[in-house]
């Protein structure tokens, strides 16, 4: 995988927004998989700024969700559906018709998961999937020991992830225990995976994902199996990488026209 070390989160957001803009100029109706959490916000802000300035026409882009809480009403402000509509779909000037996500309130949860996997395939597959990373190395909501071949399904959150996400709710008791997440196998089908990690709190998870063995214990290490995976990290999140200097030199030598 390619590892790009940037000075800070804003620079990471700008770099990834540039790659998404380049994709949309090649393929205006690209299917963009988006992630929630705090980390990708600089990407969405940089993309929205490009749209506002007229530099980017995202009007034909399609957006799809990575994961969702089970049992939160769809219009709950912290459902991932509401979050993606608020943070991505609306700022890009898109409507709900451009947006796909799994139904976290379906009576038949596994049926809804299977339907979402089918819908992604029928939409032509995800062109670029943006990912964050949990402090335990999870991607989407694929917690440690998720099958590396998993499909979209229901998962139970670890206490650590519920604590990490409690800041978005009134307290930890309000954080759902169950979620739907694209499986690791589903995520690996996207044509380009771009993982953004910022801050020292992610340094250990990044090092284990990038330089450790591929292991279900560290779900993000599955990116090592993908032919086009890019990991963008700020200096703090890169601080545990043994090969940081090599990654810097490799990226510095890369022709600018190649993009991510």
Does 134 engage in binding with ligand GLP (CB under 6 A)?
A: yes
Q: Interface with ligand GLP includes 67 (CB under 6 A)?
A: yes
Q: Per the residue annotation, which of 68, 136, 164, 234 is the catalytic one?
A: 136
Q: Check if the beta carbon of residue 5 is closer than 8 Å to that of residue 234.
A: yes
Choosing from 68, 103, 117, 138, the catalytic residue is 138
Shortest spacing between CB 38 and ligand GLP, in angstroms = 4
| Nearer to ligand GLP among residue 56 and residue 72 (C-beta) | 72
Is there a contact between 112 and 103 (Cβ–Cβ < 8 Å)? yes
The CB-of-25 to ligand GLP minimum distance in angstroms stands at: 27
Q: Per the structure block, which two tokens stand in for 22?
A: 């380049």
> Which lies closer to ligand GLP via its Cβ, residue 60 or residue 86?
86
Respond yes or no: is residue 178 known to be catalytic: no
Rounded (10°) CA dihedral 181, 204, 14, 117: -10
Both structure tokens of 219: 């779900």
- Which of residues 4, 5, 12, 36 is near ligand GLP by CB under 6 A? 36
Facing residues of 233 across strands? Answer: 5, 197
Q: How far apart are the first and last CA of the chain?
A: 11
Among residues 48, 56, 133, 232, the one that binds ligand GLP under rule CB under 6 A? 133
Question: Could you give the residue ranges of the DSSP H alpha helices within 3-151?
Answer: 9-26, 41-53, 80-84, 109-122
Between residues 66 and 206, which has the closer beta carbon with respect to ligand GLP?
Answer: 66
37 lines the binding site for ligand GLP (CB under 6 A): yes
CA distance 4 to 238: 9
Asked if 13 is part of the footprint of ligand GLP (rule: CB under 6 A), the reply reads no
Read off the DSSP letter of residue 230.
E
Both tokens of 108, joined, read 């038949």
N residues, the chain: 260
Residue 67 annotated among the catalytic residues of the structure: yes
Q: Does 185 bind ligand GLP (CB under 6 A)?
A: no
- Do β-strands 67-69 and 178-181 pair in parallel, antiparallel, or remain unpaired? antiparallel
Site membership for ligand GLP, residue 38 (CB under 6 A): yes
35: contact with ligand GLP by CB under 6 A: yes
Active-site residues: which are they?
67, 136, 138, 143
Binding site for ligand GLP (CB under 6 A): 35-39, 66-67, 132-134, 140-141, 161, 165
């Amino acid at each position: 995988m390619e590892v790009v070390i940037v000075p800070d989160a804003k620079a990471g957001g700008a770099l990834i927004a540039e790659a998404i803009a380049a994709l949309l100029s090649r393929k205006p109706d690209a299917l963009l998989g988006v992630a929630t959490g705090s980390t990708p916000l600089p990407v969405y802000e940089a993309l929205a700024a490009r749209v506002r300035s007229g530099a980017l026409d995202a009007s034909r882009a399609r957006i799809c969700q990575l994961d969702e809480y089970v049992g939160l009403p769809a219009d709950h402000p912290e459902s991932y559906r509401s979050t993606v509509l608020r943070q991505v779909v609306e700022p890009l000037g898109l409507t709900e018709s451009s947006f796909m996500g799994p139904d976290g309130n379906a009576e038949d949860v596994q049926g809804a998961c299977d339907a979402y996997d089918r819908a992604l395939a029928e939409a032509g597959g995800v062109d670029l999937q943006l990912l964050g990373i949990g402090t335990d190395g999870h991607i989407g909501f694929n917690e440690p020991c998720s099958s590396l071949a998993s499909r979209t399904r229901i998962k139970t959150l670890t206490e650590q992830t519920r604590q990490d996400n409690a800041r978005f709710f009134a307290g930890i008791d309000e954080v759902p225990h169950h979620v739907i997440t694209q499986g690791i196998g589903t995520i690996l089908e996207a044509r380009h995976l771009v993982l953004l990690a910022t801050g020292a709190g992610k340094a250990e998870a990044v090092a284990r994902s990038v330089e450790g063995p591929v292991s279900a214990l560290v779900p993000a290490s599955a990116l090592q199996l993908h032919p086009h995976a890019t990991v963008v990290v700020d200096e703090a999140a890169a601080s545990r990488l043994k090969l940081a200097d090599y990654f810097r030199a490799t990226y510095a030598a890369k022709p600018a026209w190649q993009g991510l």
